[in-house]
Amino acid sequence: MIKVENLTKRYGSKLAVNDVTFQINEGEVVGFLGRNGAGKTTTMNILTGYISSTSGSASVNGFDILKEPLEVKKRIGYLPEQPPVYMDMTVNEYLTFVSNIKNVPAKQRKAQIEAACERVGITEMRKRLIKNLSKGYKQRVGFAQALIGNPEVLILDEPTVGLDPRQIIEIRQLIKDLGKQHTVILSSHILHEVADVCERVIIIDQGKIVAQDTLANLASSVNEIARLSLRVQGGDASVRKALHDLHGIKYVEALGVKEPDTQDYLVECEAHADVRADIFRVLASMNRPLLLMRPMDVTLEDIFLQLTSEEAH
């Protein structure tokens, strides 16, 4: 559906986007992850036709953004980082204007505006001036704008920046819902947001793609060492030694007492070795009840830091 090939954008001597290639299939929800200034917004601005690339190509549904920009723009709803709203208009006036410039047929205009308002929860705000709305509601008006014209693709640039925690949760839920009907590209520097909403992640750093895969695959690529967290009743040095002697365990670290009369341990296992049953048996044989055993998942933070620091070398 969306195809980006060797996309490059140069600003002076700096390459804001450097030879970026990716593909996004219909119906996917893809996260665009990177630090501030990594090139996320530039890539999105090129995809939506706001700026032009220095070289490379981008196409939506086979329409090239440079050769047939109007065909591409028809298919994309864009929510830039700062919602492009006119402060001196009411929500209704603004959305009517948007549906006009997006060539929504006059008959569908009203229904579409109503549906979009309903979707993002601004139906009660429709008669209010946009400048009097809170940041969260302005963001929603921006969202409604992107939905007008029923575009197949939604491109959302940092849609939750500057919102309060409750609004963030609501907006994420909204994006999840929208992902059922649209192809969504979402940029973010917030890792758990991407983990929460997206099926696939493209990680970009210093203008280059450093990884693109599903979250599970990315996690397993980094996850060569499995880690377990244990809590053992009456744990002491003998427990640590017994655990250390188990086959498949590389390292045991005592984490201290988090609950009276217990001891916490961090166990690092060798790759692909499942030692959980063995741990249970050895502790049982020592009469040391195992109160808690939890795998320490590799977080998106770990993946991100590992990938972006590799790139820096």
Partner 1 sequence: MAAVWKKEVQSYFLSPIAYIFMAVFMLVTGLFFVLTNVLGQSAEFNNTLSNIAFMFILVVPVLTMRLLSEERRTKTDQLLLTSPISLTSVVVGKYLAALTVFAATLVLSLVYPLVLAIFGNPAFGEIFSGYIGFALLGCTLIALGLFMSALCENQVTAAVSTFGVILLLWMGSSIINSISVTWLADILSWLSIYDRFYGFVQGIIGLAPTFYYISASALFVFLTIRTVEKRRWSEG
Residues that bind partner 1 (CB under 8 A): 9-12, 45, 48-52, 54, 70-71, 73-74, 76, 78, 80, 82, 84-89, 93, 97-98, 100-103, 145, 149
Nearer to partner 1, 85 or 175 (CB): 85
Spatial contact of 53 and 9, defined as CB atoms under 8 Å apart: yes
d(CA 54, CA 9): 5
Nearest distance from C-beta of residue 299 to partner 1, angstroms: 33
Nearer to partner 1, 40 or 231 (CB): 40
Nearer to partner 1, 48 or 206 (CB): 48
The number of residues in the chain equals 313
> Which two structure tokens, joined as six digits, stand for 126?
């429709």
DSSP 125: G
d(CA 145, CA 131): 16
Nearer to partner 1, 97 or 174 (CB): 97
Nearest distance from C-beta of residue 118 to partner 1, angstroms: 21
Nearest distance from C-beta of residue 55 to partner 1, angstroms: 11
d(CA 131, CA 86): 8
Long-range contacts of residues 127-132, Cβ cutoff 8 Å, at least 24 apart: 127/90, 127/91, 127/92, 128/90, 128/91, 129/87, 129/88, 129/89, 129/90, 130/85, 130/86, 130/87, 130/88, 130/89, 130/90, 130/91, 130/94, 131/87, 131/88
Strand residues in 142-240 grouped as ranges (E): 153-157, 183-188, 200-205, 208-214, 227-233
d(CA 91, CA 133): 10
Nearest distance from C-beta of residue 17 to partner 1, angstroms: 12
Nearer to partner 1, 63 or 302 (CB): 63
Nearer to partner 1, 78 or 265 (CB): 78
Nearest distance from C-beta of residue 291 to partner 1, angstroms: 55
d(CA 196, CA 173): 9
Nearest distance from C-beta of residue 8 to partner 1, angstroms: 11
Nearest distance from C-beta of residue 175 to partner 1, angstroms: 19
User: Helix, strand or coil for residue 197?
Assistant: helix
Nearer to partner 1, 158 or 264 (CB): 158
d(CA 79, CA 123): 19
